[in-house]
Structure 1
Amino acid sequence: MSRVERSGALRFGKRPESPEEAANPTDTMALRLLDAGLTVRRVPRAAASDLGALRRTVDRRSGPLLCTGLLDSWPARTAWTPKSLAKRHGAQRVTALMDLPSTGVLFPQDQRRYECELGFAEFVERMVSAEPSAPCYVAYQRAHEIFDTADCDFASLLPPDGRPTDTRVWIGSAGTRSMLHSDLKDNFFCQLWGEKSVTLVDWRDSRAAYPFPGNLVNSQVDLAAPDMCRFPRLAGAVLYHVRMGPGDLLYIPRGWWHDIRAETPSVSVNHWFGRPLGLARYLALLGILGPVYWKATARDFFVHGVLRRAEPTRFFFSPPSTGKRLYDALRSGDFSRGNDPSAP
């Protein structure tokens, strides 16, 4: 039986005392979490190229898992560098997010204010020279719309089960951030070039993630500067952290909160699959979050559902509000409508 390595928790409220416990000393994100007094564990790691461990973990949804070696045969591992992609696809027009904010949870302006259409080769040139204080991103882009998805053989990792899947690419400068959020489906997040740090929180600790009252899949917490006075329940949660490099695959179970940050210019691809988290789970979470959340849901149900008023897009790729999703569920039976990445 293959081995999955599991390390213990880093010591609560202070830096680890032994080299075996220590996070990467250059991993500033992990050290910030420790300095805030949070409990941080390393993401469990499978033995090299252990496909069986990955499949068992997915089958059980027993938590996140980091795998190495499983992507070595993919053409994308060598072909999806910025230089190679610019050479092969440089004339392709893309919509990039330029001069993004480097701090804060919400965009100061509507996301459309950051969008810029340009050639892919021009974007790559600007990406590799961008300062972390003003990062840029081609993100949430369906892979098949630009690249050859045969370069990424997800079917070899997990045979298709007949449910819709979706593959997206994320190409950006150092400093790009997907703030703490939760996705509907299971996720293979693959780092092809550059480095990213990922921090995760179990769905069962969703109260500690402090979702926005109007949006249960986006957190109010900035893990790079956690405000423990404003968000005290975070101290009771266990956070999992990993710094990913080229060739690493991270399995993120559906519902698990995750914060992803580019430490260097980066090329990543992710693949959503499986059965989505259902309405009952969200209603249960809504029920325990209390009256502030109930009122926000009722308001958005009426304003954005019944009245069909457009919602602001100040989250990173804003999903519909909880109220709008509940409205859609009552009308069509689909709570995930408009928030399922695999939907047309």
Structure 2
Amino acid sequence: MTAMEPLGEGLEARPVARAAASDIGALRRAVARRSGPLLCSGLLDTWPARSAWNPAALAEHHGARQVTALLDLPDTGVLFPRDQRHYERKLSFAEFIGRMESAGPSAPCYLAYQRAHEIFDPADCDFASLLPPDRYPTDTRVWIGSAGTRSMLHSDLKDNFFCQLWGEKSVTLLSWRNSRAAYPFPDNLVNSQVDIAAPDMGRFPRLRDAVLHHVRVGPGDLLYIPRGWWHDIRAHTPSVSVNHWFGRPIGLPQYLALLGILGPAYWKATARDFIAHGLLRREEPTRFFFSPPSTGKRLYDALRSGDFSRGNDPSAS
């Protein structure tokens, strides 16, 4: 893609910068500078996971393993109509692969947020060759699902290598500094109220002036997503992906600054959840896609432990 791409409702997106598969230096510079997303096409072609993690091989070698997957997911809307547990089913990996390959986009299914080492050989993904060592914990997760799966617009605390091993997905991105245009939920600063595929420009007018980026990723592609960058990921085909979080997470000062500019509705929601889910320890609903703790609960944790990201840092749990 060399020109602005229309996304619907008058939105357009810039192309994501690209680097050659052999140019590891460009990837490392992008990580060091956090200058923006970068696509490295074909970078993963030599990884064992490219051949070992296709659906047929996974079913053959891991088919008897019991997994908990999300079945018959909604294909519209930002929040789950029901609590996430309503969609969870236990089944064998082989049964899930069969469901994944036959599911239509109107009722997608997902085995997602699964730690790679709990099922697969982590050596199949050679992240160590891409990154110099650092002192912060890392975490690697696997995402296996049908066409139509959606990770709605959200922001992660850490830098992210998103790796496509099989199938195709598209990714739309928005920088951290444009977080007001993402319209976070008042009770959760890392999840957006916006459905990028069908945005309500009347409710979300700041989107018109936001700088979006868009890219389609295929087998062997690695997409670097800097920490804080909002991203919406959608599968066009049955798909196997893996992502790797690394580096220093965004901390309390940055989120307090964002909370400050978002206004009173956000302050009230934070105070409410600070009391309800922090002080009173009430269970939080899970209607986001793999719901993180509310902002109020995270602030409560930060005041107790000094770590705002403790409850939303994948590597910490």
Category of TM-score, reference length = shorter chain? over 0.9
Partner of 1:243: 216
* 1-structure distance, mates of 2:4, 2:133: 38
The one of 104, 111, 119 aligned to 2:92: 119
Paired position in structure 1 for 2:109: 136
Moved more, 135-144 or 156-165: 156-165
Superposition pairs of residues 252-267 of structure 1, within 5 angstroms: 252-267=225-240
Check whether the contact 2:75–2:148 (CA below 8 A) recurs between aligned residues: yes
Alpha-carbon shift at residue 68 of structure 1 (Å) = 1.6
- 2:73 alignment partner in structure 1: 100
Aligned residue number for residue 224 of structure 1:
197
Give the aligned partner of residue 16 of structure 1: none
Deviation digits for residues 261-289 of structure 1, max 9, x if unmatched? Answer: 00000000000000000110000000000
Q: Does 1:174 align with 2:156?
A: no
Match of 1:21 in 2: 3
CA contact under 8 A between 2:142 and 2:241: conserved in structure 1? Answer: yes
Matches of 2:4 and 2:230 in 1, distance apart? 23
Unaligned runs of 5+ in 1: 1-6, 8-19, 24-30
Match of 1:208 among 174, 178, 181: 181
In structure 2, the residue matched to 1:162 is 135
> Which residue of structure 2 aligns with residue 57 of structure 1?
30
- What is the aligned residue count? 317
Taking the aligned partners of 2:221 and 2:79, their CA distance within structure 1 comes to: 29
CA distance in 1, matches of 2:94, 2:261: 49
User: Greater RCO between the two (CA within 8 Å, min separation 6)?
Assistant: 2
Q: In 1, Cα distance between the equivalents of 2:20 and 2:40?
A: 7
Q: Residues 91-134 of structure 1: CA distance to partner in whole angstroms, max 9, x if unpaired?
A: 11110000000000000000000000110011001110001000
Q: Counterparts of 1:307 and 1:142 in 2: how far apart (Å)?
A: 31
Deviation string, structure 1 residues 42-94 (Cα, Å, up to 9, x no partner): 11111232111000000000000000232121000111100001101111111
- Structure 2 Cα separation of the partners of residues 320 and 235 of structure 1: 29
Deviation sequence 1:283-324 (CA, Å, 0-9, x none): 000000000000000000000000000000000000000000
Q: 2: distance between equivalents of 1:155 and 1:99? A: 36
Conserved? CA contact 1:39–1:237, under 8 Å = no
1:290 is matched with which residue?
A: 263
- 2:314 match: secondary structure: coil
Partner of 1:299: 272
TM-score (norm 2): 0.98
For 1:13, the equivalent position in structure 2 comes to none
> Can you list the C-alpha shifts for 1:119-175, whole angstroms capped at 9, x where unaligned?
001100111000100000000000001111100000011122121000000000000
User: Is the contact between residue 141 and residue 244 of structure 2 (CA under 8 Å) also seen in structure 1?
Assistant: yes
CA-to-aligned-CA distance 1:239-275 (integer Å, 9 cap, x gap): 0000110000000000000000000000000000000
Alpha-carbon RMSD: 1.0
Q: TM-score, normalised by structure 1?
A: 0.91
Poorly superposed stretches of 4+, deviation over 4 Å: none
The CA deviation at 1:22 is 6.2
